[in-house]
């Protein structure tokens, strides 16, 4: 491990190298490239159908469009740098690049979490109070909600970045394939991280509040859905709620496993796997999960690709 005498000498960090063997590095590059292209392509399809299909110009699909943009942003922050390092046989990331990676990843990840909370509220109003839906979830309200998500995420991103890089580093070897905050905190010379502890406490309080809100919201939604006399109505309600619940649960469980696992001094295969799961799997699966359970989205996709027969069949199903 490369040791540092003081903070001023840390001009770069060394990210985790997946293998010393050149052929395995190429395999890592190709796997990450395939994953990245699949993620970007899937989310770009969601963005395209929502933008070009006027029947999808509703709050639910507007939030889904924003979610797709955030997912592209989150993977673009971490995957390309890891691929580049594997291809060029290097581990280096500049100090400024590492700080930017921390800030941008926190921004996109927190925005994702807050946006999923807003999407739960959107489903609550649509199912539990449908007569007031257009009044409550109007264009201005939706824009203000998204703007508030971005402002809060920017502030949390700044707090976490300042808190992480405020103390001197005694080492520059990061045991992760991107600049992950828990791994960076292990490298600091001081055991005191008051700013970062405050940022974590704030993020934890907001996270618990969001989880509680979503849980209560879906209890109320489930109560209303089970009282619906129409089987078709219940199926439609579940089809719009299940994708959201699946994505939220996946992010929450994988994130908790990654950040609450016991600390280790060296790179842990389990830790790396869980980091890949919470940082790379949700952005890839989000468009798949939403399109699988949503007839309107599948119909819009078939129209986008000019599959008229499929579009006609789905419109009558």
Low-confidence winner among 22-26, 221-225, 309-313 (lowest mean pLDDT): 309-313
138 has a pLDDT exceeding 90: yes
Quote the mean pLDDT of the chain.
84
Is the Cβ–Cβ distance between 228 and 237 less than 8 Å?
Answer: yes
Contacts (Cβ under 8 Å, ≥6 apart) of 184: 13, 98, 102, 164, 165, 169, 174
**Residue-wise pLDDT tens digits, 279-289:** 898 899 888 88
pTM beyond 0.95: no
For residue 94, give the 3-state DSSP assignment.
strand
Q: Return d(Cα 227, Cα 255) in angstroms, integer.
A: 34
Per CATH, the homologous superfamily of domain 7-316 is Rhodopsin 7-helix transmembrane proteins (1.20.1070.10)
C-alpha Rg value of the chain to the nearest Å: 22
**Residue-wise pLDDT tens digits, 190-240:** 766 676 677 778 878 888 888 899 989 988 988 888 888 777 777 777 777
Is the Cβ–Cβ distance between 294 and 317 less than 8 Å?
Answer: no
Per-domain boundaries in the chain: 7-316
Q: Return d(Cα 256, Cα 84) in angstroms, integer.
A: 29
Q: Return d(Cα 178, Cα 18) in angstroms, integer.
A: 12
**Residue-wise pLDDT tens digits, 37-92:** 999 999 999 999 999 888 889 998 999 999 999 999 999 999 999 999 988 888 99
Is the Cβ–Cβ distance between 207 and 114 less than 8 Å?
Answer: no
């Amino acid at each position: 491990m490369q040791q540092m005498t003081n903070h001023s000498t840390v001009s770069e960090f060394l990210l985790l190298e997946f293998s010393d063997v050149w052929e395995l590095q190429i395999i890592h590059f190709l796997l990450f490239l395939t994953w990245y292209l699949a993620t970007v392509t899937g989310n770009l399809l969601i963005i395209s159908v929502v933008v070009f299909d006027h029947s999808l110009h509703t709050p639910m699909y507007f939030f889904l469009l924003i979610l797709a943009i955030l997912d592209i942003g989150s993977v673009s922050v971490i995957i390309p740098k890891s691929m580049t390092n594997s291809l060029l046989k290097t581990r280096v990331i500049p100090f400024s690049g590492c700080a930017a990676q921390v800030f941008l990843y926190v921004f996109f990840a927190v925005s994702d979490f807050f946006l999923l909370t807003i999407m739960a509220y959107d489903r609550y109003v649509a199912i539990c109070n449908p007569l007031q839906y257009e009044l409550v979830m109007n264009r201005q309200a939706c824009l203000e909600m998204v703007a508030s998500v971005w402002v809060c995420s920017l502030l949390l991103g700044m707090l976490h970045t300042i808190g992480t890089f405020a103390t001197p580093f005694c080492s520059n070897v990061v045991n992760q394939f991107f600049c992950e905050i828990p791994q960076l905190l292990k490298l600091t010379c001081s055991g005191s991280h008051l700013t970062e502890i405050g940022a974590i406490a704030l993020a934890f309080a907001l996270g618990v509040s969001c989880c509680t809100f979503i849980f209560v919201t879906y209890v109320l939604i489930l109560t209303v859905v089970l009282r619906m006399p129409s089987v078709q109505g219940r199926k439609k309600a579940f089809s719009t709620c299940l994708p959201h619940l699946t994505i939220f649960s996946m992010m929450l469980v994988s994130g908790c496993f990654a950040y609450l696992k016991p600390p280790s001094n060296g790179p842990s295969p389990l830790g790396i796997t869980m980091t890949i799961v919470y940082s790379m799997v949700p952005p890839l699966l989000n468009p798949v999960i939403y399109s699988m359970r949503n007839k309107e989205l599948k119909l819009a996709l078939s129209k986008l690709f000019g599959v008229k027969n499929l579009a006609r069949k789905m419109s009558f199903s």
